[in-house]
Amino acid sequence: MLIYIGADHRGFALKDHLKIFLRESGYSVTDLGNEKLDENDDYPDFAAEIGRRVSQEFETARGIVICASGVGVDIVVNKFPRVRSVLAATSDQAYDSRNDDDTNILALGAEYLDLPTAKRILITWLETPFGNEPRFRRRIEKISQIEQKLFGPLLVGGGEREERGLRTGETGEKERTSGELHW
């Protein structure tokens, strides 16, 4: 399982601690930003990239998004098809979200969690399998039907969308060409 992680400036320190913790625990982690502390960055940029990747790789990837409250990043990633994100403040919520709802993105509020609590939530979330009970499968299927009605043809081919407003920079990384968010 590949884990994507990202945060804005208010979640930056927690992101870096959790990234190290995950790697030391044997997980494969890809940091999607921000790469440096930037007081002027915006959480939708990082959350959208994680939402897009997990939407496309929903069978093999999970994501972790962090901002001050966790609310903003949770809203953004839940806009993507096949993403089921939880804003968890306790390990019990993390457990229920995986067991009952098969969540694939964990949102954390950096200003509401200390590091030991965040680690407990994260490990619980990662180690809890989907309960796979008929009632849980039925509910997830209903969510999938809603997504199919809303996104229809966009779900074909892994949920990919055209990347307008992006260009490939000298390092091969995607760079924004305007202040607009494109994914």
The pLDDT value recorded for residue 151 is 85
3-state class (DSSP) for residue 126: helix
Residue 96 tokens read as 């229920």
Rounded distance between C-alpha atoms, residue 118 and residue 29, angstroms: 17
Residue whose tokens read 């496309």: 56
Provide the residue-wise pLDDT of the chain in tens; the chain has 183 residues. Answer: 999 999 999 999 999 999 999 999 999 999 999 999 999 999 999 999 999 999 999 999 999 999 999 999 999 999 999 999 999 999 999 999 999 999 999 999 999 999 999 999 999 999 999 999 999 999 999 999 999 998 886 665 544 333 333 344 444 444 444 444 444
First to last CA, the chain: 23
The amino acid occupying position 18 is: L
Rounded distance between C-alpha atoms, residue 72 and residue 181, angstroms: 15
Angle at 31 between CA 25 and CA 33, to 5 degrees: 145
Torsion angle of the four alpha carbons 48, 80, 86, 19, in this order, in degrees rounded to the nearest 10: -40
The pLDDT value recorded for residue 167 is 40
- Whether 125 and 160 have beta carbons less than 8 Å apart is answered as no
The pLDDT value recorded for residue 165 is 37
| Exposure b/e, 86-111, CB count within 10 A at least 16 = b | bbbbebebbbbbbbbbbbbbbbbbbe
The pLDDT value recorded for residue 162 is 36
Rounded distance between C-alpha atoms, residue 151 and residue 178, angstroms: 26
The pLDDT value recorded for residue 156 is 57
Architecture of domain 2-133: 3-Layer(aba) Sandwich (3.40)
3-state class (DSSP) for residue 34: coil
- Whether 143 and 103 have beta carbons less than 8 Å apart is answered as no
